Amino acid sequence: MGLFGRAPKSDATARRRVEAWLRDAGGYGPDTAMTVSEIVCADPACPGTETVILIFAPGETTRAVKILGALDTLSAAEVAAALRTP
């Protein structure tokens, strides 16, 4: 675990892969900014490792999407399902 309870930086390839799945599943174009982060919570009440995504679509409120699991273990189906969850 890294500083401030965060996981070490995940592979940039995995981040790009998840971002591509997000763009495809959500219909987001290149004008939509995104962040994809992996966070490990050390508190026993936390779910453990989560992938946290922020979507900054022009003219819309910033959207946060959380997916239980490490960034490099996610599938396209999990990402699409998370986007469908309000």
Tens-binned pLDDT, residue by residue, of the chain (86 aa): 454 555 555 588 899 999 999 999 999 999 999 999 998 877 788 778 899 999 999 999 999 999 999 999 999 999 999 999 87
Q: What is the DSSP string of 16-64?
A: HHHHHHHHHHHT--TTSEEEEEEEE--STTS-SEEEEEEEE-TTS--EE
Q: Domain holding 75: CATH number?
A: 3.10.450
Helix axes 12-26, 76-84, angle to 10 degrees: 50
Smallest CA-to-CA distance from 55 within 85, 22, 80 is with: 22
Smallest CA-to-CA distance from 84 within 11, 18, 26 is with: 26
Reported pTM: 0.80
Instruction: Tell me what pLDDT residue 6 has.
Output: 54
Q: What domain count does the chain have? A: 1
Domain around 65: 3-84
